[in-house]
Chains A and B, each alone.
Chain A
């Protein structure tokens, strides 16, 4: 109870710190969810493609060639999403490390109070981290709820973005060229009912509810919480140093 009171009052007292954190969190959650959901779309698209391909009466040889090519293009995009997500997480981590160090600096007097009360620098860092994790969780829930409410529009838009990215990626462009030259012959006498582009990548996502893709939410949340905790623990040394410096002023 006292712990919760301390956290909530602390957030209220250090409003600016938490407003900055909230802004960064909104950016990270949106980018993270987009990238990971797109990664999901991407692998689902690959699956869909293979299913559609099996509906056509292709010879084994032809099917394998196409399947492998398409899988390779999707894998490349997949790796890119992974890389971008890591980059986003890295930027989020650096921002948080900066925030944690600036908190250690601006809260030096407060830190010294806690140290004088017999708390260890790690414990003080954990308290500041708890405040930040509280803000992160609140913002994450808020952003997620908004996204789920406008789920239909968002999934369609993200899928479109993802489709665009696929077609503009090196692997995707090469595939499209191949489709128009050699592969199109394979489909010449087939009743496909879809274009080469939507064959490669579905025009609509599997479901228009983001709830069907819960994994990105969990991953973004855990990554965010973990990075905040890590950055504050890394800044524990600064808490001691700044608190010590603060004592010289008295």
Chain B
């Protein structure tokens, strides 16, 4: 963590651009779910501290940043849609009953989709995801990754997943980093 503390927003941006140069899916491998949570929280704190949230999207299971009194649709569009709506899979695009429903009553699984696609629509360059293995089963995670891979390619974004699930790492990400990747001096 030494690196983040000593560098400013500019160097942090440069590091992100360097590590996740090519759009696609990345993994940051952690020991266990506790380390995932701590590492993720640490990243979020640093990004907030350096006002990087404009370029960074987040997917979490503990703080979903979903506004409970807004509809699913309003939550999807909360950061605007600089990217075309067609990027959103059809089940999220056409189910009007679901879209108009209050976001208070959605499942964690649904919230992951909303969090991801709201970042995609907002045109965020880096999307950090905390895979606490609570919201998605291994199969669901793979399903999600299929949708995510397409969207990420179309928008030139990078989805960075912090996970302790080592079976996931065998899928084909652009790169896999160790937990301390972001804290190592460049």
Asked if A and B bind, the verdict is: yes
Contact status A9-B79, CB under 8 Å? no
Bound-state CA distance A117–B66 (Å) is 9
Contact status B65-A116, CB under 8 Å? yes
Contact status A2-B48, CB under 8 Å? no
Bound-state CA distance A115–B56 (Å) is 12
B residues in contact with A74, CB < 8 Å: none
Contact status B69-A112, CB under 8 Å? no
Q: Which of B62, B66, B70, B118 contacts A5 (CB 8 A)?
A: B70
Contact status B79-A110, CB under 8 Å? no
Q: A6-B74, A113-B66, A116-B63 given as contacts; is B45 within 8 A of A247 (CB)?
A: yes
Q: Nearest Cβ in chain A — how far from B56, in angstroms?
A: 8
Q: Does B58 contact A (CB under 8 A)?
A: yes
Q: Total contacts A to B, CB within 8 angstroms?
A: 54
What number of A residues sit within 8 Å (CB to CB) of B? 18
Contact status A112-B65, CB under 8 Å? yes
Interface 1/0s, chain B 15-52, versus A by CB < 8 A?
A: 00000000000000000000000000100110010000
Q: A9-B69, A112-B65, A250-B63 given as contacts; is B53 within 8 A of A117 (CB)?
A: yes
Q: Nearest Cβ in chain A — how far from B161, in angstroms?
A: 18
B residues in contact with A117, CB < 8 Å: 53, 65, 78-79, 118
Closest chain B residue, CB of each to CB of A244: B48
Q: Does B169 contact A (CB under 8 A)?
A: no
Q: A2-B77, A250-B63 given as contacts; is B70 within 8 A of A116 (CB)?
A: no
Q: Which of A13, A116, A250 contacts B58 (CB 8 A)?
A: A116
Bound-state CA distance A116–B64 (Å) is 9
Q: Does B54 contact A (CB under 8 A)?
A: yes
B residues in contact with A116, CB < 8 Å: 44, 48, 53, 58, 63, 65
Q: Does B89 contact A (CB under 8 A)?
A: no
Q: Does A118 contact B (CB under 8 A)?
A: yes
- List residues 1-37 of chain A with CB under 8 A from any CB of chain B: 2, 5-6, 9-10, 12-13
- List residues 137-166 of chain B with CB under 8 A from any CB of chain A: none
Contact status A6-B65, CB under 8 Å? no
Bound-state CA distance A173–B127 (Å) is 75
Q: Does B67 contact A (CB under 8 A)?
A: yes
Bound-state CA distance A236–B128 (Å) is 27
Closest chain B residue, CB of each to CB of A240: B48
A residues in contact with B53, CB < 8 Å: 115-118
User: What are 13 A-B contacts defined by CB distance under 8 Å?
Assistant: A6-B67, A6-B70, A13-B69, A110-B67, A113-B66, A115-B48, A116-B44, A118-B53, A118-B56, A118-B79, A118-B124, A250-B41, A250-B63
Which 4 pairs between the two chains have the least Cβ-Cβ distance? A13-B69, A118-B53, A113-B65, A116-B65
Partner-B contacts on A (CB < 8 A): 2, 5-6, 9-10, 12-13, 109-110, 112-118, 247, 250
12 extra interface residue pairs, beta carbon distance < 8 Å, beyond A5-B74, A9-B69, A109-B63: A2-B74, A2-B77, A5-B71, A10-B69, A110-B67, A113-B65, A114-B65, A116-B44, A117-B53, A117-B78, A118-B56, A118-B124
